[in-house]
Structure 1
Amino acid sequence: MPRVKQRTEALHERGLASALVVLAEEGAAGLTTRAVAGRANASVPAIYEVFGDKAGIVREVFFEGFRQLADELAALPPQAEPLEALRRLAEALRRFILDHHMLAEVMFARPFTDFDPTKDEARAGAKVRKIFVQHVRDAVTAGHLAGDPTDIALLLFTFTQGLAAAENAHRLGTTKPSTNRRFHLGVNTLLNGFAQS
């Protein structure tokens, strides 16, 4: 009798949710196919059947991270003042990275040697980039910033991500007031550098 295929959408969702929990609780070193299978109440061969290999699990986690980030950014309440909207956007990215430290590592730092994003995977962040570019374009259109919206958006995103990563590593300060002050100083200085004169 042929073996029944285990590849189901339900197992994929359970496996992905399990991988996210394992990553958050045990870090990159703990994210193994066996750990994901155990958490998902599935066999290791079934997880391999769904994801292909460990790199396939990491790939799905990578995509899920950008899906979650895009959803959080898209859900921000609208702001009448474009520069305040950009500050809120930067703060939301910071909060996501602080709240999902290991997931952010997978998204931005590539801690797994067996997963190297291709051009297709690099497109995972397209919705996030679009949100940043639109917010910057609003500020440029309103006359608050001067420059190419895509350039400014990329710099703001990268700079914010770097500040949040430094904060996670305790390199931005030793107290919440000091890290908050330095984070806001950095973001405001960057925006001021593109201010319309």
Structure 2
Amino acid sequence: MSPRRSDPLIRPTLIDIGARLMSEEGPRALSTRRLAAEAGCSTMAVYTHFGGMSGLVREMVHEGFARLQVHFSHVLDTSDPVADMALLGRAYRYNAHRNPHLYSIMFGTSTHAGFSLTEEDRQYGRYTLAKVVHTAHRCITDGRFSTDDPELVAHHMWTALHGLVTLELGHYLIPPYDPDTCFESQLVNLMTSAGDSRAAASGSVAASLLRLVGEVEDVNGDARAEGAARP
């Protein structure tokens, strides 16, 4: 019986353990023996599920974006597209907090000896931007954003919030400019830079905060289940 049949959660477990080891102890900590010991499985499981260590690291990248996509998918379209855009930003931050070890690997900031991200790997996660582009287009159509390029808006949102979240996870943001203060201000500034009025942007950002718990709770569990089901 294969490891996956005997334990359907061994695949995401190996991914999570591997990402944690790389993040906390460096690439040298990642070995089949160490993974097997911490996961409670045989070393063969790494080869069965990933074809080897390089395949495992690549799957960490894919899994990181898969979990982000699950969080994005829980943000539903409403009559306030700017609040929806702000909630996507909150989902991005929430995912990083729930999966900090994967977050560093999916963007290539942590690598394993003998493995480096290919150009295809680096562009793999771009599919997650589709929801952001869609929401930006709605903001433009509703007259909230003045720009005519929804993809550029999506890239502005991504690059600005990625930088902030990366600094937050690195514990660089301290009072009085703590992560929450900077994040809330950044959301409003991003909406106004796209053309929204400050008053309207502030109202939509505040509304998105009220929706946060209801729309993203338990999605990390959904993401883990999806990871276990993938071949």
User: Which letter does structure 1 place at the counterpart of 2:72?
Assistant: L
User: Cα distance, 1:120 vs. partner?
Assistant: 3.3
Q: Cα RMSD (Å) of the superposition?
A: 2.7
Name the CA shift for 1:22/1:7 in 2 (closer, same or farther; >3 Å). closer
- Residue in structure 1 matched with residue 24 of structure 2 by the alignment: 27
Q: Quick check: 1:19–1:36 contact (8 Å CA) kept in 2? A: no
Q: Quick check: 1:24–1:100 contact (8 Å CA) kept in 2? A: no
Residue 14, structure 1, aligned to residue 15, structure 2: no
Structure 2 portions without partners, runs of 5+: 198-231
User: Which letter does structure 1 place at the counterpart of 2:136?
Assistant: V
User: Cα distance, 1:173 vs. partner?
Assistant: 2.1
User: Cα distance, 1:82 vs. partner?
Assistant: 1.1
Distance 2:195 2:5 in 1: 48
Distance 1:38 1:15 in 2: 14
Distance 2:141 2:164 in 1: 27
Q: Quick check: 1:15–1:40 contact (8 Å CA) kept in 2? A: no
Alignment of 1:18-167 (within 5 A): 18-24=14-20, 27=24, 29=26, 30-113=29-112, 114-145=114-145, 146-167=147-168
Distance 1:9 1:123 in 2: 32
- Residue in structure 1 matched with residue 180 of structure 2 by the alignment: 180
Name the CA shift for 1:10/1:121 in 2 (closer, same or farther; >3 Å). farther
Name the CA shift for 1:13/1:61 in 2 (closer, same or farther; >3 Å). farther
- Range moving further from structure 2, 158-167 or 9-18: 9-18
Name the CA shift for 1:34/1:103 in 2 (closer, same or farther; >3 Å). same
Number of residue equivalences: 192
User: Cα distance, 1:79 vs. partner?
Assistant: 2.9
The alignment's TM-score, normalised by the length of structure 2, stands at: 0.72
Name the CA shift for 1:32/1:19 in 2 (closer, same or farther; >3 Å). farther
Q: Quick check: 1:105–1:111 contact (8 Å CA) kept in 2? A: yes
- Runs of 4+ in structure 1 off by over 6 angstroms are 9-12
Distance 2:12 2:83 in 1: 35
User: Cα distance, 1:13 vs. partner?
Assistant: 5.3
The alignment's TM-score, normalised by the length of structure 1, stands at: 0.82
- Range moving further from structure 2, 182-191 or 42-51: 42-51
1:47-72 per-residue CA deviation (whole Å, 9 max, x = no partner) reads 23442332211111110111111011
User: Cα distance, 1:16 vs. partner?
Assistant: 3.5
Distance 1:119 1:22 in 2: 22
User: Cα distance, 1:10 vs. partner?
Assistant: 6.2
- Range moving further from structure 2, 111-120 or 51-60: 111-120
- Residue in structure 2 matched with residue 169 of structure 1 by the alignment: 170
